[in-house]
Structure formats: C-alpha cells, structure tokens
Amino acid sequence: MDQQANYLKIWGLTEGISEQEVLNKLKVIGKIVKSKQVNNVLYIVFEDEVENESVEFLQDTYTFIQYIVGTEMTPQDIQKFSTLFSKNDEEEQQRKRLEQEKLQEIIKKQQEDQKQKLLEQQKEFLKQQEEQKIRLQREREEAQKREEEQRQKQQAETKQQQELYQKILKEQEEKKQKQYSEYIQDQQRLDQQQQEQKRQEQFRYEQSQLNQQQQLDLQKEALREVQALEFAKSQFQQKQQPEQKEQEYIKTIQNLQNKLTEAENEIFKLKVQYDNLEENSFKSQREIQDLKAYLNNVTQQRDNAFNMFKQQQLNQQSTISQEDLAFLEHQQKEQSSILQNVLFKFEFWVVLVGAWVLSQGINFFT
C-alpha cells in the first residue's frame, strides 16, 4: 500500500469543474499515480510525498474547494483511501486482465492475420515464382526462337553471300573467257591484217616492178623513136629524092606522133594505176624507198638527156634552139620541189619527148 503522505483529498467541487481539469493543474506538484472521484470528492495518490504548502495555489484558482494532505488525514480518511483504491486495484487488475486477454486476442488475431498474410505471401511468392518460371521459360523459348531465327537468317545470308560469291566468280570467269576469246579473235584479225598487209605490200611491190618494167619499155620505145627520127632527119638532109624523103619524113613524124599519143595514153593509164596504188601505200616504207630510187634513176636519165641535148646544141649543125635548152634547164631547176611526186617520171618524159619532137619538127619545116 502507498504511503499516506502521498495522499491528497479534495472536496467541494462544483458541477462546472471536471476531474480532469483539476488533475491537470495538480501535475505541477508531482506525478499522479491514481485518482478517483466519488460524490464530488476527489481522492488522489501521488508518486511522491505531498506537502500542504504545495497545494495552496489550488485555492487561489478554486476558492470554494477544500483539501487535506495525507499527513493530516484521520484514520477514517486513510481507511477510505485503502478501501477505495484496493477495490480500484481489483478493477484495475480486472481491466488489465481483460486488456491482456483482449491484447492476446489481438495478438492471436494478428498472428493469425500474419500467418494468413504469410501464407498469402507464400502463395503470392510461389505464384510469382511460377509466373517467373513461366516467364523465364517463355523468354528462353523466345530467346531460342530468336537464336534459331538468327541462325537461319545467318545461314540464309551466308548462303546468299556464297551464291553471290559464286555468281561473281562465274561472271569473272565468263568475263575472262570472253576477254580471252576476244583476245584470240583480235590476234586472228591482227594476223589476218598483217597477212593482208603483207599481201598488199607484195602486190604493190610486184605492181611497182611491173610499172618500172613498163616504164623501161616506154623509155626504150621512146629511144627507138628518137633514133628513128634522127635517122629520118639524116636521110632528109642528104637531099636525095626531096619530095619522097619529105613524104617519108612527114609520115615518120606522123607515126612518131601517133606512137607518142599512144605512149601518153599508156602513161596516163599507168598514172591512174599508180595513183590507186599510192593511196594504199602510205604504210609501206619499202615501196617508198623503191620510188625514191626510181625517181633518182629517172632524174639521172633526165640529166643525161639534158647533157646530151646540151652537147648537141654546142654543135653548129644541131637543130636544138636556146629556147629549148632554157626550157629543159627550167625543168631541171624544179627537181627539188617535185622529186617526191611519183608522177614526175611520166610528166617529165612526155614534156621532154614532146619538146624534142616539136623542135625537130620546126627545124624540119624551116
């Protein structure tokens, strides 16, 4: 039982004053352990001893109340405290027991709830695990499917690359074969062209030889005609049978003119042939050299003929005039500009023979 020095009894409380209001003001004295109000009488037990002076402030607020501390209480007041708070303790214990039972029920319910919650959590966890397992399984299957698709795609790409590589190799091989075939064809065409070129060169060479031979024949024929003309002139100068000699000389001149015309026609034909031959002979160095040699030969023959005419002109009995000699000298000076002209050999001899025949004819008639 508490010490009676810790008791405080207050009475004279009016209806407007609540128990809680008074207890709140008494907290300044000390900690209140127990309190109970019976018929407007307030019984209070403090944790520590309560002195009379410490409660005087209460009458300053509530002038109509009265109080007494435990050290001044009568035995009846002490007994009242003991009886009141003993019963109060039993009620408190009963209350505490009920609270304990209620607390235990709450705890039990909480435990049941916790257990149920735990079971639900376990079920939820198992469910989540199962769902996660299913999800992982599905993800693995999807991953395997993606890997399979990727593998198939890789195989398809590899196959496509191999096919493309094979196609490129085939195209390159076909291209090489085509290039090789074209190279063979080009070589064959080149060989044919070379053979054709050799054939044409051979033809031009043979034609050139033929032209040279024909030219020599024409030169010989012209020389024979000149000799015949000289012979006719000598026969005419002997003045034997003048009229007959004159007719023979005129006939001889006419024959020479006819033959000269035929020679000019033949030379023109040879010139045309030679022109056609010249158009295809630019690449033939051999024929160019032959033509140069032939031109040099013709030039030499021309110079020889010029020297012969010059010697005859020095002879007092020669019928070659200064004008004829000047004409031949002019032709000789132009040699450097027309040396490369392959037709010079024809034109020169025509002019030379024509000039000589003309001079002889003039001399004959004069």
- pLDDT at site 202: 86
Q: Which two tokens stand for residue 117?
A: 């919650």
210-262 confidence digits (pLDDT tens): 777 877 777 777 677 667 667 666 665 665 555 565 577 668 767 866 876 88
Distance (Å) of CA 34 to CA 25, 95, 276, 333: 15, 15, 156, 168
Instruction: With a cut of 50, say whether residue 118 has pLDDT above it.
Output: yes
Distance (Å) of CA 163 to CA 170, 177, 185: 10, 20, 32
CATH of domain 4-73: 3.30.70.330
Q: In whole angstroms, what is the distance from residue 268 CA to residue 274 CA? A: 10
Q: Which two tokens stand for residue 79?
A: 């007994």
Q: Greater confidence, 366 or 294?
A: 294
- pLDDT at site 185: 86
Is residue 27 within 8 Å of 96, Cβ to Cβ?
Answer: no
- pLDDT at site 134: 92
- pLDDT at site 116: 87
Strands, E assignment, the chain: 7-11, 32-38, 41-46, 66-69
CA triplet 49, 53, 55: central angle to 5 degrees? Answer: 75
Q: In whole angstroms, what is the distance from residue 250 CA to residue 242 CA? A: 12
Is residue 40 within 8 Å of 9, Cβ to Cβ?
Answer: no
| Rg of the chain (C-alpha set) | 81
Q: What is the mean pLDDT of residues 143-155?
A: 90
Q: Give percent of the chain above pLDDT 70.
A: 69
- Strand order, beta sheet including 7-11: 32-38, 41-46, 7-11, 66-69
- Does the pTM of the predicted model rise above 0.85? no
* Stretch(es) of the chain classified as CATH 3.30.70.330: 4-73
304-353 confidence digits (pLDDT tens): 876 776 776 666 555 656 676 677 677 666 655 655 565 555 556 555 65
* Sign, Cα dihedral of 109, 115, 117, 119: negative
In sequence order, what DSSP letters do the residues of 80-94 get, joined into one string? HHHHHHHHHHHHHHH
Instruction: With a cut of 60, say whether residue 285 has pLDDT above it.
Output: yes
Provide the pLDDT confidence category of residue 1 given band limits of 50, 70 and 90: very low
